[in-house]
Structure 1
Amino acid sequence: MKAVVYDDYGAVPAVTEVPAPACPPGGAVLEVRATGVCRSDWHAWRGHDPVPLPHVPGHEWAGVVAEVGADVTLWRPGDRVTVPFVCGCGTCAYCLAGDAQVCPRQTQPGFTGPGSFAERVAIHAADTNLVALPDSVDFVTAASLGCRFATAFRAVTAHGRVGTGDWLAVHGCGGVGLSAVMIGVALGARVVAVDIAAVALDRARALGAEHVVAATADTAATIRELTGGGATVSIDALGSPRTAAASVRCLRRRGRHVQAGLLLAGPTPLPMDVVVAHELAIHGTHGLAAAGYPPLLAMIADGTLRPELLVGKVIGLDDAPAALAAMDHPPADAGMTVVALGADHGAAT
């Protein structure tokens, strides 16, 4: 099959022929119809997040079941599906409780093994990890959920518990941040979006953010003033010591901070004196398990959420290496890129 491969960190990726994956006993092989190009893929390519080499990147995808293992009971070839970027083992206490996103034996295609910048990809524990796609949700839209929109959905709903009238601050308006803005607005929150790039702030405003703030050393104070005392919920969607601290400091008393952006540079100091004095809650968030997808997909199917609006361009597999390498530089726009494979990357007919 064709796949994008790089042999070393930072080496130019290339589309090449590789062996098609074998089907795991309790797993499945999927024909990839669409896959997102995510900054997490870039981090792995640059060596910030070690992966086995040579490597096939890609962890946000949707497609069609091509083959299932003998122990699989819920799926069959031809089913339209997507997959969380964290795949649980299916047998531990966390998976059985619906929390596969923190499975101790998790696999992550695109990180722990070959990913979805390929015509086919294999996953383990298909009955735990596959998610059925409604016919109204096309493959490009489903791939755009990936880690970005799905991570934002869990951050805003499960950890942030955002409700009507709550102030939601979003620090960093990339894929996760803009997704959080859209989800917060859909839930009736009053959103403050923060970024350093005007194009990102313009996109956040278009998605319904009530205020947009150019990030400065006084970002937290600005948000507290705009919101009359601080945000109810604040999300660091970028992942830096500065944005994490600003997210905590901008909260009102008994507010909730959610860390969605990866903090890859090591330990990050937070103002724990404020956390204690104001009884703040701090949550980490790590994707969305398959068990958490039904309410997200229902909101997409009925038009409450429109993640397709966050897709900037759709490219072919041959253009994926250049799209990955282009993340070395600031994006020209705030839209995400999705790779489409095959003639049919739309909804079922």
Structure 2
Amino acid sequence: MTNFAASLSREEFDYLDGTASAGPVVRVAIRALRVAGSPRIAGENLEHVRTLADTPDELPPIIVHRPTMRVIDGVHRLRAAKVRGQLEIAVRFFDGDEADAFVLAVRANVSHGLPLSLAERKAAATSIVATHPHWSDRLIASVTGLSAKTIGEVRRTVKTPQPDRRVGQDGRVRPINSLEKRRVASNLMRADPSLSLRQVAKAAGISPETARAVRTRLQRGEDPAVRQPAGAKKIEDKRHIRPAATPAPLPDRSTVLRYLRTDPTLRFTETGRTLLRLLDVHSMSNEKWASMVRNVPPHCRETIAQAAMECARVWRTVAEQLERNSHGPL
């Protein structure tokens, strides 16, 4: 089994988020392509095919698994091309294995196009848990558009052996049950209280923050290796509370947008998708905005400046309304 991060380039991963293009686009004969293994249980939507076929513009490239020539993403676009009478279609190739190709198909159909139904996403999650048991619940949730809790429930029904470590969304490998490592850390601290948090963390195989939590519980007379009951209020170690400082910088626009795209309440509603499309327009880097400003023709600058000010006013109004109603319905 391949590691997803190794089989998917960063560019291909970002393409599925709608933030970048992946690989060269080539023209491929339609008769050379296969349609199989789709995450869509209900099959193709003929109305959607007709809508795409009637679109005057050229449709975006489909993604094809090169080793099998199977369509990963874009079956509806392929059918629409046939309706149009095309002999060829624009394609981007994916060279990973079939398990990762299925993951790519699910992610593509969750993040754009005609969304998968809840039943289809749950069925896809079952397959991915079986083929990628080393992935964390949150990572699989981000691919399938489900909650991490739902993935955990799905995992309990799958009979595939589960590893003792999983890969998280940040690419880091973490133990599933860290209680034993906490016990090791607590024993080290009892044996030598002079050890630093970093020394304990390295020896026990935990993070410095986890080591800090272990030390805090020891100082309160609690057993660090006993899991706290769900919903238990965390007691902060007052000695480690730092005075208020300047607020942490907000994440950049592209990071915020990438996070919002993982929210199914936005992705699977028309209002949410419209909002994401509008926000996507404004997610360009400051350098790109500066380049765009420099290239505005002189005779248009004043008009575009006025239009931009009006757009800014509208967005400010939207932001103020959302802030006023952030804790209740609009």
Which fold has the larger relative contact order, with Cα–Cα distance below 8 Å and residues 6 or more apart in sequence? 1
Larger proportion of strand:
1
User: Max radius of gyration: which structure?
Assistant: 2
Instruction: Return the TM-score normalized by structure 1.
Output: 0.24
Instruction: Return the TM-score normalized by structure 2.
Output: 0.25
Larger proportion of helix:
2
